[in-house]
Amino acid sequence: MSRPLNKEYRAADFQQLSQLIQSHPLMKTTTTEELSMQKFRTPEYRTKCVMRASLDDIALGINMYKLQLGVERKTSKAESVTFGRPPRKSAKAATPFIKVLLRKTPLVVLFERPSLTAELDTEEGRKVQVDNQLYEELLAGTDKSRRTVDADTQTIEPLLKSRLVNTERLRTDQVGSYVSNFEMFDTYKDLEASTKSVTIEGAQQMEVTTYRLGGVDQFVEINQLPSFRLALMLTMRILASNVFEPQQRRFRNMQPPDPLAEDVKFKYRLHLLWKLSSPSPAAREQQAVTSVCFCPSNGDIMAVSYGIYTYARLGRKPRRGYVYVWNIKNPVNPERCYNYPVPVVVVQFSPGSPQLLAIGLHNGDVEVRDISQPDQPALARSQRATSPHFDPVTAIKWIPRSDNDVLAEQDITPFLAASQSGAVIKYQLITSPHLLGFEQQHFQRAEAELEGISVTQPPHRVPLLANRYVQCLELVLDPLQSDLYYVLTDEGTMYKCSTNYPLQHLELRQVHETAAVCMDFSPWSPKLYLTCGSDWCIRIWMAGILLPLITLQHHLSPVHCARWSRTHSTILVSLSHGTIDIWDLRNSTLKPVSSTTIDAKIHYTTFCFSHCGRCLAAGNEAGNLLMLAFEDMPFPPHFQYKQLKRALYKALELDPELLQKVKSVGPFHYPNGGKHTSDQ
């Protein structure tokens, strides 16, 4: 039998136990922390913290609570009117305050499919292969083998990601090293420090400190390493691109003009992209830009020669000349520098071997360099036995290969060099440190009246033995026949010659009253060419017609250079002392459509178009090369030859006889009807 439980006894024990707990010292003192912790134990607070709801549920609950308050307020008003008691102003119910605490939920993996394949050439793949063989051995029995079926399938989409791109995670470690001040002091004490002041851009100065070990400058030895020079060149290109990136993008025509733009204006203006500095910061030194030539295979590379252009204010002959090879990726510093004891007059790249650069000097010497090997000397140089002339070399042109030439791949085509002594010499590269030269022409001064424009000769002309030969100022190759070339002289005459007939010319014509300095064929016509000279005129000629078609004259100063545009058949650009003029035969033949002056105090010398034709490099007598871009130009016509023909006929409307002669010539475009750009 179970003993009955005495309830009073148990109640007395529980009461005694509760008194002991309440009389304990810890239960008597309550601090602020206990009060704050006790607040968290209240059922009301616990309910607020535990509640989980979305933001939409909270907004819905608040709206429902407001609706309930509105209903209760209306019922209270109705009750007060019914019993006849005056309505009391009830306090406005406050909107409940809800504290929303956002917590980051734990990551919930909905689907995970680990890779069940491994690459065979890796350690992991070999382990998987061993494991598969072991599994097949365990199932080798008759009853244990599982049924498998081999079937071919084709994936709907190709695999775009290979396992080879999955690389292992890189592990990084933190390693600390300690170097005391005493160790650094001892290291630099053994080195000999030398500080030099370097001038930057002619105004600023920077101090460079170098250290020598055993009397040897380590930086000099490092600078002679080809790998260090290449790394330095690439680094300077990257640094220059941070400053000239918009100009380089414009030079590359990465943003061509939009033909559908609404605000199109044809202003024919030139925009300065950058200015290449002169070789020497001294302003008194004669370092004019005498020639500019772009590399045929790479339009970013150009060679510039520095020397004498004007003899008017020349006190004495300068003793230095320079040839710099620039790259548009680094418009700050040249990538190749060649110094000469005499001024340099002309440079020209070889179209067959673009790394070869022919250089004409002021003392009559000609040499060929390979710019791909900057540390090597010149490949070949002329000698006095085959070229006994001491006058400056004014023009160099490489003879292109024709279809009838029988040359090996390693053979290099010869080139022609014209000098102020009146001689044209043909040079050939051979296996020798000297160039093999043959005299092609030696022009004497013309007598009597010549074909072309009429020039009044002085009545009494005293012949001088020292001045019986003319000065050759320009040499231009024929765009169709590789053996024909044209020579302009200081008398304003033009000689047509052939390499197959040395020491005699085929045709002689008077093109200017004074010296003729430049000649250029139209890219859209092998029979149409222009000439410019010191008589302030630009004349446009056509083969087979003895008189000029159009004569352009605007400034009362000599025209140093004039060339046809490479993008528009009716536009040509001329350069005088202080301006660069743009002519458009469609608009007017009386004045240029625009004239640009960058620096009125410095005279221009020459210019050259880029390969695309939308930029030109113009040099001046201070040694600066200005890279200019054509902006706000008209859009090139689709049929360039028809546009050129229409402009010529329009300009010759006032001369019916000359117009009839032009029409009698017939079509004057290229045989294939395309475009041909000759070497500048």
- The pLDDT of 516-530, averaged and rounded, is 94
Q: Which of 486, 474, 528 is nearest to 644 (CA)?
A: 528
Spatial neighbors of 359 by CB under 8 A, at least 6 apart, are: 305, 323, 338, 344, 346, 347, 366, 367, 368, 369
Please tell me the predicted confidence (pLDDT) of residue 385: 79
Per-residue burial over 467-504, b = 16 or more CB atoms within 10 Å of its CB, e = otherwise: eebbbbbbbbbbbeebebbbbbbbbbbbbebbbeeeee
List the CATH number of the domain containing 545. Answer: 2.130.10.10
Q: In which band, very low, low, confident or very high, does the pLDDT at 378 lie, cut at 50, 70 and 90? A: very high
Helices and strands (H and E) in the chain: how many? 11, 32
Residue 103: inside a domain, yes or no? Answer: no
Residue 554: inside a domain, yes or no? Answer: yes
Whether residue 537 is predicted with pLDDT greater than 90 in this model: the reply is: yes
Provide the phi-psi class of 623: left if phi over 0, else alpha when psi is between -120 and 50, else beta: left
**Degrees, nearest 5: CA angle 419-425-431:** 125
Spatial neighbors of 628 by CB under 8 A, at least 6 apart, are: 270, 271, 272, 273, 580, 596, 598, 615, 616, 617, 618
Token representation of residue 440: 């092609």
Q: Rounded distance, CA 283 to CA 469, Å?
A: 35
Lowest mean pLDDT among 323-337, 377-391, 511-525, 594-608: 377-391
- The pLDDT of 660-680, averaged and rounded, is 83
Residue 285: inside a domain, yes or no? Answer: yes
- The pLDDT of 507-517, averaged and rounded, is 93
Please tell me the predicted confidence (pLDDT) of residue 47: 47
Q: Strand locations in 243-355, DSSP E? A: 269-276, 288-294, 301-307, 321-327, 336-340, 344-349
- The pLDDT of 21-46, averaged and rounded, is 57
Higher-confidence residue of 457 and 271: namely 271
Residue 128: inside a domain, yes or no? Answer: no
Which single residue is written with the structure tokens 């030269």?
A: 437
Token representation of residue 418: 């014209």
Whether residue 587 is predicted with pLDDT greater than 50 in this model: the reply is: yes
Q: Rounded distance, CA 577 to CA 627, Å?
A: 17
What residues form DSSP beta bridges with 205?
199
φ, ψ (nearest 5 deg) of residue 608: -150, 135
Total residues belonging to the chain: 680
pLDDT digits (tens, 9 = 90+) for 440-475: 999 988 887 888 898 877 665 666 666 778 999 999
Residue 527: inside a domain, yes or no? Answer: yes
The pTM score is 0.69
Query: What does each C-alpha distance from 36 to 28, 39, 42, 50, 387 come to in angstroms?
Result: 16, 5, 11, 18, 109
Q: If you average pLDDT over every residue of the chain, what do you get?
A: 81
φ, ψ (nearest 5 deg) of residue 65: -65, -40
Please tell me the predicted confidence (pLDDT) of residue 389: 83
Q: Which of 510, 498, 497, 499 is nearest to 446 (CA)?
A: 510
Q: In which band, very low, low, confident or very high, does the pLDDT at 2 lie, cut at 50, 70 and 90? A: very low
Q: Which of 554, 571, 646 is nearest to 614 (CA)?
A: 571
**Degrees, nearest 5: CA angle 420-426-427:** 110
Residue 489: inside a domain, yes or no? Answer: yes
Residue 105: inside a domain, yes or no? Answer: no
Whether residue 312 is predicted with pLDDT greater than 70 in this model: the reply is: no
Q: Rounded distance, CA 299 to CA 238, Å?
A: 19
Which single residue is written with the structure tokens 């510039």?
A: 304
Higher-confidence residue of 625 and 673: namely 625
Q: Rounded distance, CA 330 to CA 126, Å?
A: 53
Q: How many domains does the chain have?
A: 1
pLDDT digits (tens, 9 = 90+) for 88-127: 545 555 555 666 677 777 888 887 777 677 777 888 888 8
Range of the domain at 351: 270-402+410-451+467-665
Residue 508: inside a domain, yes or no? Answer: yes
Query: What does each C-alpha distance from 5 to 10, 13, 216, 317, 605 come to in angstroms?
Result: 8, 13, 110, 136, 128
Please tell me the predicted confidence (pLDDT) of residue 81: 42
Q: In which band, very low, low, confident or very high, does the pLDDT at 375 lie, cut at 50, 70 and 90? A: confident
HSE, CB side, 13 Å, CA atoms: give it for residue 626.
23
Token representation of residue 672: 């294939």
**Degrees, nearest 5: CA angle 38-41-43:** 135
Spatial neighbors of 342 by CB under 8 A, at least 6 apart, are: 307, 319, 320, 321, 361, 362, 363, 365
Please tell me the predicted confidence (pLDDT) of residue 400: 85
